[in-house]
Amino acid sequence: MSHEDDKAWESFAKKAESPRIPTPKEAQEIFDAAGTEALTSEVSASIAEQVLAGKLRGRAPRCANDDWLKAEEQRYLRDGVRQLNRNKGDEEAEDDDVLDRLKSEALDDDDDETSAEN
Amino acid sequence: MAEPEPVLATHEELAFRLVDGDESVVPELIQAFSPKLLWILRDKFGDLLTDEERHDAMTTALLKAWKYRERYDESRGTLAGWLVTIAFNSAKDLLKGRRSVDAASLEDPGEVIDEFDDEPLSAERLAIIDEVEAFVAGLPPKQQEIARADLATPGGTADSAPLAKRLDTTQNAVRVQRNLYRKKFRGHFSSRGYE
């Protein structure tokens, strides 16, 4: 990614933020025009408990594709270690296969990017 | 004989008791404001937030209002407006990737608690908003979703993890699509004379 592309986007995104934080007057208008979503008494009680305790009930942070990430990270670490520990003259067919696969995946990434652009 | 309707406190009374630190006001605040705050977060942020995140943003807003209650200044806006503004900020924190379970986000009252900016938008800014919205509307669907999430996030870049989940793709794919739309954006805006 070009740093210049990011800078250009971020400078405009700041001015065109949407939804932007409303002014006090707008916020009051939004509130007045709003519908409602009912809460059960259990949920209301839970919220009151959290507010008075001064902290939200702990919830494990989410991470999308968590399992995929774990598997991918493990594979990359394993392959990276294999590559780092490879001494000149000690090449093994299995290591060569891994390197070929990594090169092929890197090239595939380029292909994905090109096809996504088209 | 029918039971008399309970008399609900006015928002001004609730604000007074909030600032006074009266703990018994908390359930009343929740009753008076939460149903509307949840509706507003859905209306304004749509699919950008999950139901769980909307509840987190609403609860965080009430929690911050209680924790920083001494900062409420009725001369700068109503309690309802103040809560709406804090709820917007809490939702944006979530989009940026600062998880609500992160205690640091509760220690930081956020600019909005101290700053009630009531300046109208300039004509130049309105024109930029129109241009950016038109550009985003013309993007392919996935790039459009990512750009909309980015536009809703302070700093202009939303957390890739929840976006990837929502779009049923990988974080790497989100980054690739983000790079593509930003490249187009820079070219488009340069060609229109913006720098």
Tokens of B91: 């939702």
> Residue B4 is inside which H or E element, if any?
none
CA A98 to chain B, closest CA, distance in angstroms equals 21
Average pLDDT rounded to a whole number, residues B62-91:
92
ipTM: 0.82
Per-residue pLDDT of chain A (118 residues; tens, 9 = 90+): 578 999 999 999 988 988 988 888 899 999 999 999 999 999 999 999 999 998 887 654 444 444 444 455 455 545 555 554 555 555 566 666 766 766 666 556 545 544 554 4
d(CA B93, CA A64): 17
Subunit contact B40:A30, Cβ cutoff 8 A: yes
Q: What is the per-residue pLDDT for B98? A: 61
pLDDT score for A69: 47
Of the two residues B3 and A52, the one the predictor is more confident about is A52
Q: Is pLDDT above 50 for B51?
A: yes
- Look at residue A85 and give its three-state secondary structure: coil
Q: Give the chain B residue nearest A47 (alpha carbons).
A: B59
Judged by CB atoms closer than 8 Å, whether chains meet at B77 and A24 is answered as yes
Q: Angle at which helices A3-15 and B171-191 pack, to 10 degrees?
A: 80
The DSSP letter of residue A18 is: S
Residue A54: its pLDDT value, please? 87
What distance in Å separates residue A90's CA from the closest CA in chain B? 34
Which of B174, B178, B172 is closest to A76 using CA atoms? B172
For residue A72, how many other CB atoms are within 10 A of its CB? 13
The DSSP string of B152-191 is HSTTS---HHHHHHHTTS-HHHHHHHHHHHHHHHHHHHHH
Q: Name, in order, each residue with C-beta under 8 angstroms of A80's C-beta and a sequence gap of 6 or more.
A: none
Calculate the CA B25 to chain-centre distance: 24
Cross-chain residue pair B186–A4, CB shorter than 8 Å: yes
Reduce the secondary structure of A54-77 to three states and give it as a string: CCCCCCCCCCCCHHHHHHHHHHHH
Q: How far is B60 from chain A, CA to nearest CA, in Å? A: 7
Q: Model confidence over B29-38: pLDDT tens digits? A: 999 999 999 9
